[in-house]
Amino acid sequence: MRRLPLTLLSASLMLAIGTANAATQTTIPAAAVKTAKQLRDKAMNDNTAYDVVTSLTTEVGPRLAGSPADARGREWAIAKFKALGFDKVYTEQVTYPLWERRSEHAEIVGPFPQPLDLIALGYSAGTPKGGLTAEVVRFDSLDALKKADPASVKGKIVYVDARMQRHKDGHDYAIGSGVRVGGPVIAAKMGAAGFLLRSAGTDANSRTPHTGVTGFKDPKEAIPAAALSNPDADQLDRVLGYGKPVTVKLDLDCGFNGTYTGANVIGEVTGRKHPEQVVAIGGHLDSWDPGTGAIDDGAGVAIAMAAGKLIHDMPQRPDRTIRVIAFANEEMGLWGGRAYADKHASEVSKFQLGTESDFGARKIWLMTASVKPEARGAMDQIAKVLAPIGVDYDAKKPGGGGSDLSQMHGKGMAALTLVQDGTDYFDYHHTANDTLDKIDPKELAQNVAVYAAFSYMAAQADGDFGSKPGAFKDDGAEE
């Protein structure tokens, strides 16, 4: 055997290593990148998502999970997927507690009698007939409540007064939702008769309280719990400022009423080469009841449906399946997302990549991802296609998959987070002001461009993004 010179040997070794390395790297073929750019540009001028969210918020309107509108929303979604031409449309049942809102009133009884604007929270108990009248005891944070002597709140109405500020990434919602979810449970355990909070919202001068779910799991542990609008919380603060005992009467007619079976509604664009492998995108179909659920989350459903339709309308189906999921009952505890993840956990390796839109309708400005290291090159390719429409890519932060799909990510699905500008999201979130006029059709179209382009590239990739059981367990993604 002829000896190779050392330099040649090392060069050929390096070449071999390089080739082997390239084989394990996930890449997106140049033709797919080119098509993704065309999809992106078409989506920027496409009105489908705005038409879809207009249809949903007008024809169905508010869609509280378990209400008669839950079923109407499902029928709407099935019909809309079919009308948009999806190849396959089906439902998967989801069962959740039924909670009903009937009416809510409140007033300051003394020292200065006057009405208060508030809204009952999800899973709140109703008050006894004739209402609940008790003294208010105020805390400025959840921590302050936790540290309180239970004797000081027993039989009283606990009021937690934490204010949220606007931020582009909406991070103060961790404070607001923490008080809303955890506060009522803590107060109930301490023997409180009722619970009030300053709305988990960033609007300052609108008398529209923000509803949302509490952490009550069992009707037996629930107490009456409601949110005051920000101006009403200010007023209660002024009354408390006189230093005299303040008595409030709550009259809430609401509560648990058995269980309800709804469904996740799913539409697919069937993959040509690997129909069993899916790119999963979606939004949640339910909404809170005071508004029409335009930004939360009609927009998310519309963005995902429109992205799927754009890919469907191309001359040829993508290599892998695009699966659009309209989730049931996200609002009262990710019921649709959890049911979906439980049912599909064993197939997690077939989920190429996924993410859900559930943070409004403003432009996407940041992409983060939890993918295997060998797929970071493909992520760079996706980022390059999205950069011209204003999307940054932070390769160091994890991607959590959004609200419901965070549950599939928890099972090991490779996931993105596509962050919208949430500066004014919590002005309207879970209020009567969550209506269609808050959506700018152009900004909504930018979201569709992002979803269509990334979904298509993921569907055409040579290689996967690292989904497998238990992957990404310690990636630090939220939700």
* Interface with Zn ion in residues 16-35 (CB under 5 A): none
Shortest separation between residue 392's beta carbon and Zn ion, angstroms: 23
Shortest separation between residue 135's beta carbon and Zn ion, angstroms: 35
Shortest separation between residue 276's beta carbon and Zn ion, angstroms: 29
Shortest separation between residue 290's beta carbon and Zn ion, angstroms: 14
Interface map 210-249 toward Zn ion (x if CB under 5 A): ----------------------------------------
C-beta atoms surrounding 3 within 10 Å? 7
What span, in angstroms and rounded, lies between the C-alpha atoms of 435 and 431? 9
CB of 172 or CB of 296, closer to Zn ion? 296
Hey, is 207 helix, strand or coil? coil
Hey, is 213 helix, strand or coil? strand
Q: Which stretch binds Zn ion (CB under 5 A): 133-141, 179-187, 357-365, 458-466?
A: 357-365
Q: Which stretch binds Zn ion (CB under 5 A): 224-232, 355-363, 408-416, 457-465?
A: 355-363
CB of 434 or CB of 464, closer to Zn ion? 434
The answer to whether the CB of 253 falls within 8 A of the CB of 126 is yes
CB of 203 or CB of 330, closer to Zn ion? 330
Exactly one of 172, 286, 297, 434 binds Zn ion (CB under 5 A); that residue is 297
Q: How far is C-alpha 305 from the chain's CA centre? A: 16
Task: Please list the residues that pair with 197 across neighbouring strands.
Answer: 160, 227
Residue 161 lies near Zn ion (rule: CB under 5 A): no
Hey, is 324 helix, strand or coil? strand
Residue 358 lies near Zn ion (rule: CB under 5 A): yes
The answer to whether the CB of 164 falls within 8 A of the CB of 201 is yes
State the number of binding residues for Zn ion (CB under 5 A): 3
Residue 289 lies near Zn ion (rule: CB under 5 A): no
* Both tokens assigned to 273: 């080469």
Exactly one of 289, 296, 427, 434 binds Zn ion (CB under 5 A); that residue is 296
CB of 271 or CB of 290, closer to Zn ion? 290
Residue 251 lies near Zn ion (rule: CB under 5 A): no
Shortest separation between residue 463's beta carbon and Zn ion, angstroms: 32
Residue 192: HSE in the Cβ half-sphere, 13 Å Cα cutoff: 30
Per DSSP bridges, beta strands 320-327 and 247-269 are: antiparallel
Per DSSP bridges, beta strands 247-269 and 88-110 are: antiparallel
The answer to whether the CB of 368 falls within 8 A of the CB of 419 is yes
Q: 461-475 in b/e burial notation, b at 16+ Cβ within 10 A? A: bebbbbbeeebbeee
Q: Which residues bind Zn ion (CB under 5 A)?
A: 296-297, 358
